[in-house]
Structure 1
Amino acid sequence: MKAITLNSTQPSRLLLTEVQTRSLMPGEVRVLIKAAALNHRDEWCRQGRYPNIKDGVILGSDGAGIVSEIGEGVDYSILQKEVIINPALNWGDNQKVQSSSFEILGMPRNGTLAESVIVPVDRLFERPQHMSWEESAALPLAGLTAYRALTYQGNIQSGENLLVTGFGGGVAQFAVQFGMALGAKVSTSSSSPEKLEIAKSLGVLHTFNYLDHNWISKAVEETNGFDLIVDGAVGDTLNHLIQVAKPGGKVVYYGATLGNPTKLEARKIFWNQLKIIGTTMGSDQDFKNMVSLVNEKKIKPIIDQVFKFEDAEKAFDRMRDGKQTGKIVLVP
């Protein structure tokens, strides 16, 4: 089968090649991929910035397709079902935190950027029928991350002020859409006026260009501060977020693309009784609840562009350069 693998000998560090598949183990299924989507972790793997990376692994965590083969012990009724794949493996029984054996599909285990993928049957959910194949593939990882950040970690309530930073990325666009679906008053930030216009078209109440040195005072003036802030950058921008959080508010961060802050406004954190919370992916229960919300509210992800597998380097470069608004999708 054709697959996009990590290969450090290539200038792009990507190789579209023929990969030999294997037989199914008990409890496993084979899914013929109709569409797959990129996440930042795929680009970080390409750059060598992710732990335990190795050449030859098929990249990709997000995918949607049709069950074509089942292993021993799997119910025949799932054959030919249209499914999405939960890429969170071995979360465990503790809703608070993942187990020590937790991993994400696509590194070090072969992922979804292939004509087919083998996964445990309990990773499958019925594909949302109001979505296209491309939209379905875009949902799992970013949708799960956004949902847990908002609900389990952020405990967002209807009527609360929510700020989602960095609108344009997959998690951020889902956090905006989920926040609105849950009744929050949603604001977002970006350095791109074009992306902020798209956010407004979705129904976002307030938008802020974080390159504007007055954005902090504008945010406080327009919203009176935020009950919950969802962020994937951290770095020194964390101190900006602390300034726009309401007393008693929360900052939930799911990534650190800007690295660690060089300083921290500790006094403001304790005086305003703020909560700084980390979150990663989500539990099986989070995924189930996320899919239910998506189906109930008929939420559709924003698709930035769709590429053929042969154009994978262009797709990865677009993510690397931060040009996307929404999810980048690849199809075999």
Structure 2
Amino acid sequence: MRFNHLDLNLLVALDILLEEQNITRAAERLHMTQSATSGVLGRLRSYFEDELLVQVGRKMQPTPYALELMEPVRDVLLKIRSSITSKPAFDPSTSKRHFRLVTSDYLISVLLAQVIEKISQEAPFITFEMLGPGDNSSELLVRGEVDLMIVPERYVLEDHPSQLLFEEEHVCAVWNGNTQVGDSLTLEQYINLGHVSVGFGRTRHMSIEEWFMNQYGVSRRLEVITNDFNTLPQLVIGTQRVATMHGRLARLYAKHLPLRILPTPVKIPLMREFMLWHRTMDGDPMHRWLREQIGGIIQGLEQPLAA
């Protein structure tokens, strides 16, 4: 298909070339030889009357005009995928759709495990891929490489639809044998205890460190840093340490581990969990169905916050 003498199939190649900025990697993704991929780049250069990618040392870099093209080209391809290739009606029981989601292990435990269980009964051929949060998670959504992100409010993108799923409190979890605290914690005890916390990404973003430092001018005594929420309660067992964690996850583990769940000594702001998706997926019937399944499970999660 051509539009203004441009073969629209070349837009797929242009999108991959601008993303990879490397002929070899682009050729692999396009299932073409390097010479054929170079030929495609030549045709694109001729059409747009711009070099698009230029060699700088050992790397290729996009020209200013190519940088301007990146977002509209990706939007066009995503709109084609969502409006032309998606069927207006679908049968979940026979669908073989594959969904990619960015979310934390905490949300998999308290929400998505139940969603997937329910969907497996109604739509047994639908498959899922869970990606942990990282420094490029938002970029994956913008580029349409993931279907959904379920993340705290600070990661919501203004240009894409989002929906508040639920609010979450923080609580403190300690081992039942912890002799340094009773059924409550003072701020002094909290500061003096050793802490188990979570850090994500290359920047090692800590869960509540920045807020705590801004409010009280002191840092918690971090003795163990892990890379997921589900190991927090396990790492306080047999120690005098404390973990500050999501209330729902703490209550889930307290059913199986010797834990005491205590109120935090200071009021930590509620965490607001949002579901967000690329704007071109807003009207996709299968995508909308998945969002409805997630929203339906939320009702069962609503329980009184700990005192």
- Larger fraction in helix: 2
In our comparison, the structure showing a higher alpha carbon Rg is 2
Range of TM-score over shorter length: under 0.3
Higher relative contact order (CA 8 A, sep 6+): 2
Q: Normalising by structure 2, what TM-score?
A: 0.26
